[in-house]
Amino acid sequence: MSEQAPRELPEPGPPAAPQGRVLAAVAAGGALGALARYGALVLWPGGGGFPWTVFFVNVSGCALIGVLMVLTVERGRVTHPLVRPFLGVGVLGGFTTFSTYASGVSDLLVRQEALTGLAYAAATVVAALGAVWAAAAGTRTWLDRSDRGSRGSRGEGRAA
């Protein structure tokens, strides 16, 4: 049943589900994601300098969306139409934040901590992209391996 023909670019567009339910799922996920981020900031408020908590929130959220998008849009392993609105757009979108990141960089620049500000700006971009890439690649490899495993017999598939 799952002939995974490589699809076209998975467009970050809306999945097919009634609009009201999608919005409700996005809102519920957004509330949870924002709360989780707030909780992390309450637990680890930091004290000026490099905003490590926001950094780790954003990087971990990027890793998780890499896994989620491969499982849903790319490979169709999870097909419920509300999974992506709830977990992707809602929870992970609400958990990670661009505004707090930009504001953190701006604060550091205004406080004449330009080096830390630039390091924070660049490190977040590099770590976030690295995380989403590694998580997506890892999930693809894992799915490919489990496919090969379930297809069964040894001695098969060593053609190349």
Partner 1 sequence: MNWLLVAIGGAVGAPLRYLTDRAVQAHQGPGVPYVFPWGTFTANTAGSLLLGLLTGAAVSSPAHALLATGLCGALTTYSTFSYETLRLAETGRAFLAAANVLASLLAGLGAVFLGAELAGGFGG
Q: Give residues in contact with partner 1 (CB under 8 A).
A: 9-14, 22-23, 26-35, 37-38, 41, 58, 61-62, 64-66, 69, 85, 88-90, 92-103, 105-106, 110, 121, 124-125, 128-129, 131-133, 136
Q: How far is the CB of 44 from partner 1 (least distance, A)?
A: 15
- Cα gap 121→119, rounded to integer Å: 5
Write out the two tokens for 57. 């929130």
- Name the phi and psi angles at 14, rounded to 5: -75, 140
- The angle subtended at Cα 58 by Cα 77 and Cα 142, nearest 5°, is 30
- Can you tell me which residue has the tokens 């992209």? 129
Q: Which is nearer to partner 1, 99 or 150 (CB)?
A: 99
Residue 149: CB minimum distance to partner 1, A? 25
Minimum CB–partner distance for residue 45 and partner 1 (Å): 12
Tell me whether residue 65 or residue 75 sits nearer to partner 1 (CB atom). Answer: 65
Of 11 and 156, CB closest to partner 1: 11
Q: How far apart are CA 61 and CA 93, in angstroms?
A: 8
* The two structure tokens encoding residue 129: 């992209």
